[in-house]
Structure 1
Amino acid sequence: MLTGKTFLITGVLMESSIAFHVAKLAQEQGAKVILTSFGRTMKITRTIAKRLPQEAPVIELDVTSEEDLAALSDRIGEHAERLDGVLHSIGFAPEGAFNFLEAKWEDVATAVHVSAYSLKALGVAALPRMSEGGSIVGLTFDASYAWPVYDWMGVAKAAFESTNRYLARDLGPKGVRCNLVAAGPIRTTAAKSIPGFEQFEESWDTRSPIGWDVNDPVPTAKACTMLLSDWFPATTGEILHVDGGVHAMGI
């Protein structure tokens, strides 16, 4: 399905990462994959990259660094002439952002910068390498609701979802689609860093009409891989729910 395509995959930190499974599925479907990491996590990502079906190169990218963003096209060029898609699997909020009423602006600003603005920043930085018909896919946690414990990260995700729509508007004429996958709770490294996230894990399966396995990132990864492919050529600005149907259920 993806033979001859090249994708830039962010967010590969552990084998449990959704991004790792997107990279794995993409390779299994014939794609070339380039991973990103930065700082102390570079060594970890390079180790995990060896566990893919084919070891993938890892280039440095901190989405809050103007220097890294400016250099991204050249760094990609060391491994591929063009990109057919980008997976945005990036999110972070300081601990203080998980207390809605007491959070300081500095913590909120960090959450919005890393978790929302970075979608635009990454899309623009990758654009010089993007081919006609390319696809940007991001991961969100449905921001239609005020969730327990999620607090300012939920606000950042709402901004992220809005950013996707505007990015779809502005990159569409350039031949690039932009979509999000709203996943149910997956037991990843990022999820474990959210205080009280186990509240979602404990209730999601009972609310889902088809059940939900918090230890299985593959359904979400499959959706991301499909959106990166050519099988959704007329879909952009969309949010695809892969949450066991919880978003469609009442109490």
Structure 2
Amino acid sequence: MTNQPFSMQGMTGIITGLANGDSIALGCAKAMHQAGAEMIVTYGHPKAESHVQPLAGEMGHPELMLCDVREAAQVDALFRRAAERWGKLDFLIHSMAFAPRDDLHGRVVDCSWEGFALAMDISCHSFIRLARQAEPLMQAGGTLITMSYYGAEKVVDNYNLMGPVKAALESSVRYMAAELGPKGIRVHALSPGPIRTRAASGIQDFEDLARDAETRSPLRRLVATEDVGQCAVFLASGAGQSLTGSTLYVDAGHNIKA
């Protein structure tokens, strides 16, 4: 390890969920590259390839792989490639969430079983599955990071189904941190405030959330995907070696306001 606590030199990892130039995954990949890490970056659908390939230079030309987390063969291939390339992993960033539009835009009490199960599978259980595959490659320890939102803790208008799903994700982070901590594997959730990404546009009246964050957060601004990436570097680097099981808000302080 380098003696620079925020350096990622010599570290290797996987970042999942890149979809386009607005993705939080891109902000994380750029920050990790700038800190010196090597990465495999995944996208979840073949149609995304034309959007992610032009972004390679911003991320230091990492290896790009298709990985739909619902496809076990693709997940197996991802970790097999990481093992072949490095024989280890130092970090994994899970940056994906999904809920069917009809279920997301309706009341929680009206959501379908199928919609709830799909949202939970992609947004929460996939993190657990990825962690299970990463564990054998983190013999010297490592860091697992996922993305949450304040709607996991408090009721946020129009966040609806994703609130209970993200609450389950944050609880999973705590249990995984307790289970994996003896092996030196740290587990965290980052909780960004509203960011104008293409994925966020699926939330009904998202602009109302964004304007509220801009006007009421102590710093009077929205955060950027790069801000989230810098916090991921902090947690995964030597600087974060004594932290685990946390949900770290990256929201210009918006979560402290009533």
Report the TM-score, using the length of structure 2 for normalisation: 0.90
Q: Which residue of 2 aligns with 1:233?
A: 241
Which sits farther off after the overlay, 57-66 or 119-128? 57-66
Backbone CA RMSD of aligned residues: 1.7
Which sits farther off after the overlay, 39-48 or 128-137? 39-48
One-letter identity of the residue aligned with 1:138: T
Q: Measure, in 2, the Cα distance between the counterparts of 1:60 and 1:40.
A: 7
5+ unaligned residues in a row in structure 1: which ranges? Answer: none
Q: How far is 1:42 from its partner?
A: 5.0
Instruction: Report if aligned partners of 2:222, 2:251 keep a CA contact under 8 Å in 1.
Output: no
SS in 1 for 2:140: strand
SS in 2 for 1:50: helix
Q: How far is 1:162 from its partner?
A: 0.7
Q: How far is 1:28 from its partner?
A: 1.2
Change (3 A) 1:46 1:249: closer
- Equivalent position to 2:77, from 71, 76, 100: 71
Q: How far is 1:68 from its partner?
A: 2.6
Q: How far is 1:237 from its partner?
A: 0.7
Query: Which structure has the higher relative contact order (CA within 8 Å, separation 6+)?
Result: 2
Q: How far is 1:96 from its partner?
A: 2.0
Matches within 5 A, 1:8-27: 8-27=14-33
Q: Measure, in 2, the Cα distance between the counterparts of 1:41 and 1:25.
A: 25
Change (3 A) 1:57 1:46: farther
One-letter identity of the residue aligned with 1:144: E
One-letter identity of the residue aligned with 1:94: P
Q: Measure, in 1, the Cα distance between the counterparts of 2:86 and 2:200.
A: 32
Q: How far is 1:25 from its partner?
A: 1.3
One-letter identity of the residue aligned with 1:86: L
5+ unaligned residues in a row in structure 2: which ranges? Answer: 1-6
One-letter identity of the residue aligned with 1:224: A
Instruction: Report if aligned partners of 2:119, 2:165 keep a CA contact under 8 Å in 1.
Output: yes
1:152-208 Cα deviation digits (max 9, x unpaired) = 111100111011111111111222000111110001121012222222112111110
Q: Which residue of 1 aligns with 2:4?
A: none
Q: Which residue of 1 aligns with 2:130?
A: 122
Q: How far is 1:70 from its partner?
A: 3.2
Is 2:200 the counterpart of 1:191? yes
Report the TM-score, using the length of structure 1 for normalisation: 0.93
One-letter identity of the residue aligned with 1:55: H
Aligned-pair identity (%): 32
- Aligned pair count reads 249
Q: How far is 1:49 from its partner?
A: 4.1
Q: Which residue of 2 aligns with 1:222?
A: 230
Q: Measure, in 2, the Cα distance between the counterparts of 1:155 and 1:223.
A: 24
Richer in helix (by share):
2
Q: Measure, in 1, the Cα distance between the counterparts of 2:14 and 2:179.
A: 20
Q: How far is 1:108 from its partner?
A: 0.8
SS in 2 for 1:181: strand
Q: Measure, in 2, the Cα distance between the counterparts of 1:88 and 1:24.
A: 15
Q: Which residue of 2 aligns with 1:7?
A: 13
Is 2:80 the counterpart of 1:80? no
After TM superposition, where is structure 1 displaced by more than 6 Å over at least 4 residues in a row? none
Q: Measure, in 2, the Cα distance between the counterparts of 1:24 and 1:199.
A: 29
Q: Which residue of 2 aligns with 1:172?
A: 181
